[in-house]
Amino acid sequence: MKKKLIIIFIIVGLLFFTSVVEAKLKVVATYNYIGDLVKKIGGDKVKVIALAKGYKDPHFVTPRPSFIAKMRQADLLIMNGGQLEIGWLPPIIRKANNPKVNPGSPGLLDLFEFIDAIDVPLEVSRAQGDVHPDGNPHFHLNPENILKVSEAIKNKLIEVDSANMENYQNNFEEFSAKWKQKIEEWKKAMKPFEGKNVVQYHKNCDYFLNWAGMKKIGTLEPVPGIPPTTKHILFMIDVIKHKGCEFIIHDVYHMKKPSRFVSNRTGVKMVILPHDVGAVNEATDIISLFDEIVRRLTK
Amino acid sequence: MKNIFILFIAISAILTPAMNYGSGDPFSQTKFVPAISFIMDVSWLNRDLNGFSTEGFEIPGFLHAGHTDGHSHSGSIVNGVKGFNLNYAELSLFATVDPYFDLFTSFHLSEDSFEIEEVYVSTRKLPHGFRLKIGKFLSSFGRFNAQHAHTWNFQELPLVYHVFFGVDGLNEKGVQLNWVAPIDFYLTLGCEILQGENCASFGVEEEEFYSDDEGKGEDAKVPGLLTLFGKSSVDIGDLVILGGVSYAGGETRSVHEGTEGEHLLSGSSEVFGFDVTLKYLLDSYRYISLQTEYMNREFDGKLSGSYQNIGDGDQEASFTRSQAGFYSEFVFRFSRLWRTAARLDMLVRNSVEIDGIDEGLPKNMKRYSFMFDYTPTEFSRIRLQYNYNKYLYYNGDLKNFGEMNLQLNISVGAHGAHPF
């Protein structure tokens, strides 16, 4: 017994000292798009790990124990917020035993604080499905919001790692100049669709559609998070036939059957849009993600 | 009645700030209301067995007649009787206390009791990956023990947990220290020093057993229970592997009401546990998971009082138990809304010796379970479960029987996070 205890102590001790402090700032991002922004602004001064897979439903992330190991070593945690992570992130933070990323600590950055949310409900009841009481959390699909949150990320990186301030400042300026130029490009491409009607499967592209000036006339989910019912599908077919519709927008992770059915019945084009970096092969970073969204809508 | 009154006061104390002070009140405390959630669990049960409940049944060497509920607190047993069952309700509160502590509480409610299942603080600021838990909590022993009933894949806890720790699991007052290794894969190590009041394996009080004697017995030293655990996990793409080893060792003092009269077990017990979980994620919603846990218990001590082979009254005999069991469960979530699962429970070793003579108790007691559940949202679940039981004895005879139950589990309030 004694021997075993000594061996355990030696192993623990070794683990302790092998964790020699690395020079790079360790950042954990909940989603890929955040990870990519951190990479762009942090450059080679940061080491970024994104937890959720880009091709999966951002609401339902399996809280793998390996996330705890990643969180344990983080200097900074950057999250989407707006309760998108409520179902999986809190126990990961709690079990990681890392005071740096506890809620309320300077090492936790919640991007939702920096944008203006849409669809903030006045009354909240779960009879309306999986409602987000703080408003729609999928804000990153409005390209203007990307500018706001990149600035927040830049400021946070400078706050926790002021030694590399210049690096973060320069990278941010370079990125935001490029981004502003891309916004003009995407705006031009989306111009013909302004004022056109659109139907989504889930309300996850609202920010993009608002930005592009398109009109959302409904979702195939009767209420957020509840799969389509026959009754609601037939109702939406009626709505589409009555009002006219440009696209039926679907995501990469839900079953395509309901959207395809409505598309076949109405003759309206179904478009599968990536929602995050890594959702489709073409979306390798935040810029190509938006390039791909615009390409799929305008082709 | 008194308990319901306390519950009422507790709830109104929580809600009062929200009701009394509207916006504009300079002393409004609404924002400090803790996260509250409430769970209810009801079921309908049928079993092909005469009699209303399984009272009077025993598991030889593990649980005596009258104690097959694992010395449960009043009324907290799941699926106790044929027909409708109110299994439990649970009220949980969670809040950050200050920069140094988080507080978690969970109250277990039955029709006529209000119990503190868990109340503990957990540190927020300890350096080097350490965390301390202080209070009453579900031990981190094994894979299953710390999970709350509403997250279980079947309605009952695994048989091996039931016989070794009782239906409430290893739920004790004490402290836990755990550490997460600063490495690229998950590794956590921890230990707990606990009071040792578990009904089935541990205990420190000899109660009133010798009260009419000349103060013969001796209460054990407290705290009476030590646990150690280590858990580790790696990902291979979409396959997640989680494994753990656990140990619980401590004093055993327990008074039993056997068929011949009262007897006392005193000595010490050690339980070793080994668990492994494989979970393969098919997409955002669907997964296949295989989970198994093996546990072994060794008890060494003495038996006093009335027991079949040692006669009546104040007889004493040396007594050892060497027992083991496991469960294996397979879960397939085949759509966003539906899951199905099968579980095998088995007690594989049951060697009990009195004064060195083997009692020849039965082993290989089994339970087969199957279930389908439907989860329309994260806040409601309907489950149909069938158990075939081959582990309960009545007057020395094994009684095999099937049981079917339909369960409804509802939760409201704060959004609970999904356990892995």
Residue type, B209: F
The answer to whether the beta carbons of residues B154 and B372 sit under 8 Å apart is: no
Per the CB < 8 Å rule, is A87 touching B378?
A: yes
Model confidence band, residue B258 (pLDDT cutoffs 50, 70, 90): low
Q: Which residue has the tokens 């013909």?
A: A192
Distance CA B127, CA A71 (A): 14
Distance CA B228, CA A8 (A): 12
Cα dist. A95→A91, B132, B174, B385 in Å? 6, 11, 19, 32
Q: Which residue has the tokens 């390798």?
A: A284
Q: Which of B313, B108, B416 is nearest to A87 (CA)?
A: B416
Which letter does DSSP use for residue B15 in this model? H
Instruction: Find the closest chain A residue to B94 by CA distance.
Output: A90
> What is the side-by-side strand order in the sheet with A46-50?
A46-50, A25-29, A76-79, A108-110
* Facing A88 at nearest CB: one of B235, B283, B418: B418
- Per-residue burial over A192-204, b if 16 or more Cβ lie within 10 Å, else e, is ebeebbbbbbbbb
Whether chain A has a CB inside 8 Å of the CB on B182: the answer is yes
Instruction: Find the closest chain A residue to B125 by CA distance.
Output: A99
- State residue B44's pLDDT score: 95
Per the CB < 8 Å rule, is B415 touching A87?
A: yes
Per the CB < 8 Å rule, is A66 touching B128?
A: no
- Per-residue burial over A138-149, b if 16 or more Cβ lie within 10 Å, else e, is bbbbbbebbbeb
Distance CA A151, CA B333 (A): 41
The answer to whether the beta carbons of residues B113 and B88 sit under 8 Å apart is: no
Model confidence band, residue B419 (pLDDT cutoffs 50, 70, 90): confident
pLDDT of B181 > 70? The answer is yes
- State residue B69's pLDDT score: 45
The residue length of chain A stands at 299
What is the residue-wise DSSP string for B56-72? T-BBTTTB-TT-TT-SP
Distance CA A76, CA A109 (A): 8
Instruction: Find the closest chain B residue to A88 by CA distance.
Output: B417
Distance CA B134, CA B104 (A): 11
Phi, psi of A223 (to 5 degrees): -140, 155
What is the residue-wise DSSP string for A139-156? GGGSHHHHHHHHHHHHHH
The answer to whether the beta carbons of residues B359 and B171 sit under 8 Å apart is: no
ipTM, two decimals: 0.88
Cα dist. B254→B137, B145, B207, B257, B262 in Å? 22, 21, 8, 10, 10
Per the CB < 8 Å rule, is A104 touching B99?
A: yes
Distance from CA of B125 to the nearest CA of A (A): 5
* Facing B180 at nearest CB: one of A97, A129, A130: A97
* Facing B235 at nearest CB: one of A66, A94, A102: A66
Phi, psi of A277 (to 5 degrees): -60, 130
Model confidence band, residue B96 (pLDDT cutoffs 50, 70, 90): very high
pLDDT digits (tens, 9 = 90+) for B62-92: 887 655 444 443 334 677 889 999 999 999 9
Q: Which of B400, B284, B390, B383 is nearest to B341 (CA)?
A: B383
The answer to whether the beta carbons of residues B47 and B401 sit under 8 Å apart is: yes
Per the CB < 8 Å rule, is B417 touching A90?
A: yes
Residue type, B72: S
Distance CA B186, CA A63 (A): 12
Q: What is the pTM of this model?
A: 0.89
- State residue A132's pLDDT score: 82
Q: Which of A115, A40, A43 is nearest to A80 (CA)?
A: A115
pLDDT digits (tens, 9 = 90+) for B113-162: 899 999 999 999 999 999 999 999 999 999 999 999 999 999 999 999 99
Neighbours of B203 (CB within 10 A): 26
Model confidence band, residue B5 (pLDDT cutoffs 50, 70, 90): low
Ranges of beta strands (E only) in B198-305 are 225-236, 239-257, 262-281, 287-305
Per the CB < 8 Å rule, is A253 touching B284?
A: yes
Cα dist. B246→B183, B206, B303, B404 in Å? 21, 27, 27, 33
Phi, psi of B406 (to 5 degrees): -120, 120
Summary mean pLDDT of chain B:
87
- Range scoring the smallest mean pLDDT among A35-44, A273-282, B275-284, B389-398: B389-398
The answer to whether the beta carbons of residues B319 and B354 sit under 8 Å apart is: yes
Distance CA B412, CA B118 (A): 19
Q: Which residues contact B7 (CB under 8 A, 6 or more apart)?
A: B91, B107, B109, B114
Q: Which of residues 255-294 of B touch A (CB under 8 A)?
A: 279, 281, 283-285, 287
Q: How buried is B101 (Cβ within 10 angstroms: 0-12 exposed, 13-18 middle, 19+ buried)?
A: middle
pLDDT digits (tens, 9 = 90+) for B303-338: 887 666 555 556 788 999 999 999 999 999 999 899
Distance CA B316, CA A159 (A): 71
Distance CA B347, CA B350 (A): 7
The answer to whether the beta carbons of residues B164 and B271 sit under 8 Å apart is: yes
The answer to whether the beta carbons of residues B161 and B154 sit under 8 Å apart is: no
Distance from CA of B417 to the nearest CA of A (A): 4
Per the CB < 8 Å rule, is B418 touching A64?
A: no
- B380 is written with which tokens? 């409601």
Chain A residue set in contact with B, beta carbons under 8 Å: 8, 12, 15-16, 18-19, 56-57, 60, 62-66, 68-69, 72-73, 83, 86-91, 94-99, 102-104, 126, 129-130, 225-227, 253
Distance CA B198, CA B166 (A): 8
SS3 B332: strand
Q: Which residues contact A273 (CB under 8 A, 6 or more apart)?
A: A205, A249, A250, A251, A293, A296, A297
Model confidence band, residue B278 (pLDDT cutoffs 50, 70, 90): very high
Distance CA B192, CA B173 (A): 10
- State residue A106's pLDDT score: 94
- Per-residue burial over B280-315, b if 16 or more Cβ lie within 10 Å, else e, is ebebbbebebebbbbbbbbbebebbbbbeebeeeee
SS3 B234: strand
- B312 is written with which tokens? 């009546």
Per the CB < 8 Å rule, is B418 touching A72?
A: no
Phi, psi of A243 (to 5 degrees): -95, -20
Cα dist. B269→A21, B73, B171, B319, B362 in Å? 43, 22, 16, 12, 21
SS3 A266: helix
Ranges of beta strands (E only) in A114-232 are 197-200, 215-219
What is the residue-wise DSSP string for A30-77? SSHHHHHHHHHHHGGGEEEEE-S-TTS-TT-----HHHHHHHHT-SEE
Q: Which residues contact A150 (CB under 8 A, 6 or more apart)?
A: A37, A40, A41, A172, A175, A176, A179
Q: How buried is A208 (Cβ within 10 angstroms: 0-12 exposed, 13-18 middle, 19+ buried)?
A: buried
Per-residue pLDDT of chain A (299 residues; tens, 9 = 90+): 566 666 766 666 666 555 555 579 999 999 999 999 999 999 999 999 999 999 999 999 999 999 999 999 999 999 999 999 999 999 999 999 999 999 989 999 999 999 999 988 888 888 877 778 889 999 999 999 999 999 999 999 999 999 999 999 999 999 999 999 999 999 999 999 999 999 999 998 999 999 999 999 999 999 888 889 999 999 999 999 999 999 999 999 999 999 999 999 999 999 999 999 999 999 999 999 999 999 999 98
